C-alpha cells in the first residue's frame, strides 16, 4: 500500500487509524500525514474508544475484523456514547458485508475494500472529511442561531443606547469569541459601545467620529485608524452587505436605512464563520438600535440630554411603588439655577442654553447609573435617587451644588458661571407611600426655603411635615 506523496500544508484534520495490523496502521498513517492530516493510531476497539474520548477526532479509519471488538461493535458503542465522529470501515473481505446495509444501519460514512488501494481510500477520506466540515458548520449555525434567539430579548428591552451597543458587542463576542471589535454608528445613533469603538458620520471634514473604543481600538480617533479599517467601515455602510475580508464587517440595516456597522478585528476572525447567521443577528441589532433611538427621542430633553419631565415623572412613580413594596427609601432633588434670567439678559439666550447643556453634562457625569436626572422645566432640573436615604441625598445634593458653583461655561471671550439652589425630600419607604405630587410639593417647598435663605444652598425636608 506504499504510495509516494508530496508534503502539503496542514489540513487541520485529525484522523484515527484503527487496525490490529501494525504495519498497515503505519502505512496508512504515513499516507494521511503526506496529505496534511494529523494522525493517531489504535490497535483495537477499546483503545480507539479511549482516544476518541480524549481527543477531537474528525474521522476514524476503522478495520472491520479485529480481535475483541470488531469494527461494527466499535461504531455501535461510539453512537451509543453520543459521538458523531465520521467513520470509514475498512475490510479485506468486503463481499461478506453488504456496504449499503452497513452504511444505513451503522451511520458510517464509507466502507473501503483494502484491495482497491490507497487512491480509493483517499476518496473515502476526502468525502468523510467534507461531511465532517458540513456537520460542524451546521452545528455551529444551529448553536449560533440559538444564541441569537436567546440574546434577542436582551437587545430589545428598554435601555440606553449606550447600554444597547455594549450589549451588541458582548453578544457578538459570545458568538465569535473575539477580543477586539468596533461599532460605527450612523449620525442619529450617537453613543458608545464595548469591545471596540463607536463612530458616527461627521458633517464636515471627516466621514466618522469615533465615540468610544476598547480592545486594540481603545483611545483611537477616526484619523488614527488605518486606511483599510476606515474603508471597510465605509464599504459596509454603503453596500449594506456583510463581508469577511480583511475584517468581519456587519452593516446594521433597518430596511434601506443603515444605522451602523460592526467591525471585528481580523486577527480574531473565525475562518468557519457563517455570515448569513451574523446578518440575522445584525438585523435584530439594527431594529433594537432604531427602537432605542425612537424611545430616547420621546423621553429625552433635546437641549440638556437629560430625561424629559413626563418620562421622569413616570420613573418617580415607579420608584415610589417599589420603595413602598420593598422598604427602600427614595429621594428627590429639585434644582433651580440662581438668577438665570440675569444670564439671559447679560449674555443672551444662547448663553443660557449653553449653561443648561453644561449642567446636563455635569449631572450625567456626577450621578450614579441608577439615578435619573431630568429637565423639569425652564432652568429647573430634577434628580431621582432610588435607594437613597435623607442623609445620602443631602450629601449628594451639596456635592452637586459645589460642582455647579465651580463650573465655568466658555462664552465669547470669557466664561459664564452660575450657582444653584436645591430642595431635597425623602420617602423612607415601606408604607403606603406618597404620590409623586406629594414628593414634588415637598421638594419644591424645600427649594423655596433654599432660595429665600440666600440661594446657593441645599435645604432638605421630610416628605411629610410634623404637625
Residues catalogued as catalytic: 379
Answer left, alpha or beta for residue 399, where phi above 0 means left and psi between -120 and 50 means alpha: alpha
Pairwise CA distance, residues 110 & 399, whole Å:
76
Pairwise CA distance, residues 287 & 257, whole Å:
11
Of 319, 420, 321, 313, the closest CA to residue 363 belongs to: 420
| Helical spans, DSSP H, in 227-274 | 227-239
Pairwise CA distance, residues 279 & 294, whole Å:
23
| 81 DSSP 8-state letter | T
Answer left, alpha or beta for residue 254, where phi above 0 means left and psi between -120 and 50 means alpha: beta
CB 48 within 8 A of CB 18: yes
Neighbours of 167 (CB within 10 A): 19
Pairwise CA distance, residues 40 & 55, whole Å:
10
**Cβ-based neighbours of 252, under 8 Å, separated by 6 or more:** 185, 258, 259, 260, 261, 262, 282, 285, 286, 289
Pairwise CA distance, residues 394 & 450, whole Å:
13
Amino acid at each position: 500500500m506504499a504510495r509516494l506523496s508530496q508534503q502539503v500544508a496542514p489540513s487541520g484534520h485529525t484522523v484515527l487509524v484503527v487496525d490490529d495490523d501494525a504495519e498497515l496502521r503505519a502505512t496508512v498513517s504515513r499516507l494521511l500525514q503526506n496529505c496534511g492530516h494529523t494522525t493517531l493510531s489504535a490497535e483495537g476497539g477499546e483503545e480507539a474508544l479511549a482516544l476518541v474520548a480524549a481527543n477531537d477526532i474528525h474521522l476514524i479509519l476503522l478495520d472491520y475484523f479485529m480481535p475483541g471488538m470488531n469494527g461494527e461493535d466499535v461504531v455501535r458503542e461510539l453512537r451509543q456514547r453520543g459521538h458523531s465522529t465520521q467513520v470509514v470501515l475498512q475490510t479485506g473481505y468486503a463481499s461478506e458485508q453488504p456496504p449499503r446495509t452497513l452504511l444505513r444501519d451503522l451511520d458510517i460514512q464509507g466502507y473501503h475494500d483494502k484491495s482497491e488501494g490507497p487512491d480509493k481510500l483517499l476518496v473515502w477520506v476526502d468525502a468523510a472529511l467534507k461531511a465532517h466540515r458540513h456537520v460542524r458548520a451546521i452545528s455551529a449555525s444551529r448553536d449560533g442561531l440559538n444564541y441569537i434567539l436567546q440574546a434577542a430579548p436582551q437587545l430589545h428591552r428598554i435601555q440606553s443606547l449606550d447600554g444597547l451597543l455594549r450589549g451588541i458587542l458582548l453578544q457578538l463576542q459570545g458568538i465569535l469569541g473575539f477580543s477586539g471589535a468596533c461599532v460605527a454608528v450612523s449620525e442619529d445613533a450617537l453613543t458608545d459601545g464595548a469591545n471596540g469603538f463607536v463612530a458616527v458620520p461627521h458633517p464636515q471634514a471627516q466621514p466618522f467620529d469615533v465615540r468610544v473604543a476598547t480592545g486594540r481600538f481603545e483611545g483611537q480617533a477616526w484619523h488614527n485608524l488605518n486606511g483599510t479599517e476606515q474603508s471597510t467601515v465605509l464599504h459596509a455602510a454603503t453596500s449594506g452587505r456583510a463581508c469577511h475580508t480583511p475584517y468581519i464587517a456587519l452593516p446594521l440595516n433597518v430596511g434601506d436605512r443603515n444605522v451602523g456597522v460592526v467591525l471585528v478585528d481580523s486577527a480574531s476572525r473565525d475562518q468557519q464563520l457563517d455570515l448569513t447567521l451574523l446578518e440575522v443577528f445584525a438585523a435584530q441589532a439594527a431594529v433594537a438600535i432604531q427602537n432605542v433611538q425612537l424611545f430616547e427621542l420621546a423621553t429625552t430633553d433635546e437641549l440638556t440630554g437629560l430625561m424629559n419631565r413626563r418620562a421622569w415623572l413616570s420613573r418617580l412613580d415607579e420608584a415610589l411603588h417599589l420603595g413602598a413594596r420593598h422598604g427602600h427609601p427614595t429621594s428627590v432633588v429639585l434644582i433651580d439655577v440662581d438668577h438665570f434670567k440675569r444670564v439671559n439678559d447679560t449674555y443672551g439666550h444662547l448663553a443660557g442654553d449653553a449653561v443648561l447643556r453644561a449642567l446636563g453634562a455635569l449631572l450625567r457625569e456626577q450621578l450614579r447609573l441608577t439615578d435619573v436626572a431630568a429637565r423639569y422645566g425652564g432652568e429647573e432640573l430634577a434628580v431621582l435617587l432610588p435607594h437613597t436615604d435623607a442623609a445620602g441625598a443631602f450629601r449628594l445634593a451639596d456635592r452637586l451644588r459645589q460642582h455647579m458653583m465651580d463650573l465655568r461655561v466658555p462664552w465669547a471671550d470669557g466664561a459664564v458661571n452660575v450657582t444653584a439652589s436645591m430642595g431635597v425630600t425623602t420617602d423612607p419607604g415601606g408604607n403606603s407611600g406618597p404620590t409623586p405630587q406629594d414628593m414634588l410639593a415637598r421638594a419644591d417647598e424645600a427649594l423655596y426655603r433654599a432660595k429665600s435663605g440666600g440661594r446657593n444652598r441645599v435645604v432638605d425636608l421630610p416628605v411629610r411635615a410634623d404637625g
